[in-house]
Amino acid sequence: FQFEHVGPENGKGSIIDKWTTGKPQMPDVRAILNKWQLELEGNAWNSLYLDNHDQPRCVSMFGNDSPEWRVLSAKMLATCLHMQKGTPYIYQGEELGMTNTTFHSLADCQDLEEINAWHQYVDEQKKVTPETMLACFNTVARDNARTPMQWDASDNAGFTDGTPWLAVNPNYKTINAEAALKDPDSTFYYYQELIRLRHAYPIIVYGTFEPLLEEDPCVYAFARHLDNETLRVACNWTDKEVPCTLFEGLEGETLISNYEQHKADCLQPYEARVLLTRDAR
Q: What is the pLDDT of residues 117-175, one digit of tens each?
A: 999 999 999 999 999 999 999 999 999 999 999 999 999 999 999 999 999 999 999 99
Check whether domain 207-278 has CATH 2.60.40.1180, yes or no: yes
76 vs 17, 255, 269, 273, 274, CA distance in Å? 30, 14, 10, 8, 11
If phi > 0 it is left, if psi is from -120 to 50 it is alpha, else beta; for residue 227 that is left
Q: Give dist(CA 59, CA 241) in Å, integer.
A: 19
Give the DSSP letter of residue 124: I
Instruction: Express as a percent the part of the chain with pLDDT over 70.
Output: 100
Predicted confidence band of residue 280 (pLDDT cuts 50, 70, 90) = confident
Closest Cα to residue 25, out of 17, 13, 16?
13
- What tens digit of pLDDT does each residue of 73-132 get? 999 999 999 999 999 999 999 999 999 999 999 999 999 999 999 999 999 999 999 999
pLDDT at position 281 is: 62
Q: Give dist(CA 280, CA 20) in Å, integer.
A: 51
Q: Could you give the 3-state DSSP secondary structure of residue 34?
A: helix
The CATH homologous superfamily of the domain defined by 4-193: Glycosidases (3.20.20.80)
Phi, psi of 222 (to 5 degrees): -160, 165
Q: Are 148 and 176 in contact (CB under 8 A)?
A: no
Q: Are 218 and 236 in contact (CB under 8 A)?
A: yes
Beta strand pairing status for 272-278 and 253-257? antiparallel
Domain ranges of the chain: 4-193, 207-278
- What tens digit of pLDDT does each residue of 221-231 get? 999 999 999 99
User: Distance from first CA to last CA of the chain, Å, rounded?
Assistant: 38
- What tens digit of pLDDT does each residue of 28-48 get? 999 999 999 999 999 999 999
